[in-house]
Amino acid sequence: MEDIEAREFSKKILTIQEEERHRISRDLHDEVGQFSVSLGSALNIIEKEISRRNFDAALRLIQDAKNILTETTKKIRTLFIDLRPAELGMLGLPSVLRELFAHYTKTYPLNIKFKENIGRIHIKDEVAITLYRVIQEAFNNIVKHARAKNVKIDLLLKQGEINLSAEDDGVGFDAEAFFKEANVNKLGLRGMRERVDLLNGRFLVQSKVRNGTKIIVTFPIIEES
């Protein structure tokens, strides 16, 4: 019985990993690939304009090309952050999260408020990794969809439970409708929910159009040392 459960568990983990690879390759193709194509064609036009001595037009195009490059660099940095295994064991979850938030405030016009009472309390590795991944995907979604100005992250230990909430003041969406429809190209929220379910946590998304989005995750068992 236990064997079957363990096999199911590793099968689910493998599925989550495959889905993540699928999303990373899709993002590389759709966003970074797209940017390099536009950059290439901008350079071709600049070359033509210069050979015709249309320097003003060329200068304008160079500015466009620089903007394209800035966007590409942002996207690549964010993809790296997604890929890098966080040094959770060494630094503890709050420090690693602060680094992640520093990346986001540097790269995007976001104001992030972070409240935590974990300090150096040790959280079980799988739980810490899942919390980190949930926050990471919450931010992916915030910069991709929310058009938010403010994000509030609370990570609070209370009566043996750990509560995470990530709230933005962006455009929101119909969360109920989203979970009813099947969409193989939108795996972020489902992936979060699956990871949390696997560790017997609770996962909730509260969102309404024009009313921001809030993700709440709770884990019951905390290992302290």
Ligand X SMILES: Nc1ncnc2c1ncn2[C@@H]1O[C@H](COP(=O)(O)OP(=O)(O)OP(=O)(O)O)[C@@H](O)[C@H]1O
Which residues contact ligand X by CB under 6 A?
Answer: 23, 141-142, 144-146, 168, 170-173, 178, 186-190, 213
Q: In the structure encoding, which two tokens stand for residue 104, read together?
A: 């986001």
Cβ atoms of residues 219 and 161 within 8 Å: yes
Q: Which does 202 bind (CB under 5 to 8 A by kind): ligand X, Mg ion, none?
A: none
Do the Cβ atoms of 189 and 134 come closer than 8 Å? no
Shortest distance (Å) from residue 192 CB to Mg ion:
9
Judged by beta carbon, residue 45 or residue 171, the one nearer ligand X is 171
Contact of residue 142 among ligand X, Mg ion, none (CB under 5-8 Å per partner type): ligand X
Q: How far is the CB of 62 from ligand X (least distance, A)?
A: 32
Q: Pick one of Mg ion, ligand X, none as the site partner of residue 11 (Cβ within 5 to 8 A by kind).
A: none
Kindly list the residues in this chain that would bind Mg ion in the complex (CB under 5 A). Answer: 141, 188
Residue number with CB closer to ligand X (188 or 201): 188
Q: Which is nearer to ligand X, 95 or 140 (CB)?
A: 140
Spacing of C-alpha 132 from chain mean position: 10
**Tokens, residue 179:** 């979970």
Q: Which amino acid does the sequence have at 185?
A: N
Taking CB atoms, the residue at the shortest distance from ligand X is: 188
Q: Nearest-CA neighbor of 140 among 96, 78, 95, 97? A: 78
Q: Are 170 and 176 in contact (CB under 8 A)?
A: no
Helices (H) and strands (E) in the chain, counts: 8, 5
- Identity of the residue, 130 or 141, whose beta carbon is nearer to Mg ion in the bound complex: 141
Q: How far is the CB of 56 from ligand X (least distance, A)?
A: 40
Binding partner of 145, given ligand X, Mg ion, none, CB within 5-8 angstroms per partner class: ligand X
Distance CA 112, CA 160 (A): 26
Shortest Cβ 200–ligand X spacing (Å): 22
> Which residues, 6+ apart, have CB-to-CB distance to 35 below 8 Å?
68, 69, 71, 72, 75
The C-alpha atoms of residue 155 and residue 149 are separated, in whole angstroms, by 20
- Closer to Mg ion by Cβ: residue 65 or 130: 130
Which is nearer to ligand X, 174 or 223 (by Cβ)?
174
What is the smallest separation between the CB atom of 174 and Mg ion, expressed in angstroms? 15
